[in-house]
Amino acid sequence: MLFIITLLHCTISYSLNYELKGSIVLPEEDPKKIEYKLVSTRKDEAKKSQFHTQFLDTNNNPLVDERTTTENGKLVEYLYEQHQVNEKGSIRVAENKVIYQFFNKGKWKTETEDYEENMIVPDMIHSFLADHYEEIKKGETIKFRFLLLERMESIGFKFFLEEEKMWEGRKVSEVIMKPSSFFIALIAPSIHFYLDANPPHRVYGIKGRLPIRKAIKNPPENRGDWKAIDGLVKVDKITVEEKTTK
């Protein structure tokens, strides 16, 4: 989810497998204490890419699982499971339709909408940023539709460059993800991405709303006893296996 390589060679096909590990802090509580962990992998085979992202507690217990399959850069399937509050579901694309299935409060719900080329899910954000990095750096605003499983609909968002600066000892481009609608933007928090200003523009950090929940009652008894959190994800280690075929 957090790693980008920009591929600039048009005559060579790249197969990219990686494992990323990161740590998560809650800046508003204790900016130095690691509260959660993140592990994300990508495996490429032919035209398909398989992503698996896990948010973990500090004992490596899974809190959230996200699995994504893309083909030629387009969404095929997204699977989601939130272990803390027993929510799960999927987003699938078939016959130019987006099909949402979501389970919460003991019930399954289903919705559909028409598919558009600029629709993405969380694991696709970084490839999308890589594809549009030069445009964003020039000051252009890039619009897209973000598929939200909990809402079972897509919402218009935009990426734009906030500034270039030093962050964690590295020169980065700070790119903001924000709802396109003025009214939705008033209530939905923005997400900040910190991309290496130098190629291949890897994402070294994300600040904003996470899919992890935190209990406000101990022990929690129902969905209302959990709250969403805003955190800062920092990439600690990336292991890359890159293959090329001419």
| Residue-by-residue pLDDT tens, the chain, 246 positions | 333 322 222 223 344 788 889 999 999 899 999 999 999 999 998 899 999 999 999 999 999 999 999 999 999 999 999 999 999 999 999 999 999 999 998 999 999 999 999 999 999 998 888 889 999 999 999 999 999 999 999 999 999 999 999 998 889 999 999 999 999 988 888 999 998 888 777 788 999 999 999 999 888 888 889 999 999 999 998 888 765 544
Does the residue 234 lie in any domain? yes
Domain hosting residue 30, numbered range: 13-245
CATH number at residue 171: 2.50.20
Does the residue 5 lie in any domain? no
Asked if 81 and 65 touch (Cβ cutoff 8 Å), the reply is yes
Does the residue 181 lie in any domain? yes
Three-class SS state of 127:
helix
The two structure tokens encoding residue 70: 């893309």
Does the residue 3 lie in any domain? no
- 3-state SS, 36-81, equals EEEEEEEEEECCEEEEEEEEEECCCCEEEEEEEEEECCEEEEEEEE
